[in-house]
Copies of this chain bind each other. A is one copy, B any other.
Amino acid sequence: MDSFKPIGFVENDFKEIQHNPDVFRDTVSRIRILEEFVEGVYRIDDFSRLYVIFVFDRAEGYRLKIHPRGDESKPLRGVFATRSPYRPNPIGLAVVRLEAVQGNILIVRDLDAIDGSPVLDIKPCEDDVTY
Task: Report A's interface with B, CB cutoff 8 A.
Answer: 1-7, 37, 39-44, 46-47, 51, 53, 55, 57, 64-65, 68, 74-83, 87-91, 93, 95, 118, 120-124, 127, 131
Contacts and interface: CB of A to CB of B under 8 A. Distances in A.
24 contacts: A2-B89, A2-B90, A4-B91, A7-B88, A40-B64, A40-B78, A40-B80, A42-B64, A42-B76, A42-B81, A53-B89, A80-B121, A80-B123, A81-B131, A82-B123, A82-B124, A83-B123, A83-B124, A87-B121, A89-B120, A91-B120, A93-B93, A93-B121, A95-B127
A43 to B, nearest CB: 5
B65 A39 contact: yes
Nearest to A69: B131
User: How many of these chains are in the complex?
Assistant: 2
A131 B80 contact: no
A95 B48 CA distance: 18
Contacts of A83: 123-124
Given A2-B90, A68-B131, A87-B121, A78 B39 contact: yes
A3 B118 CA distance: 13
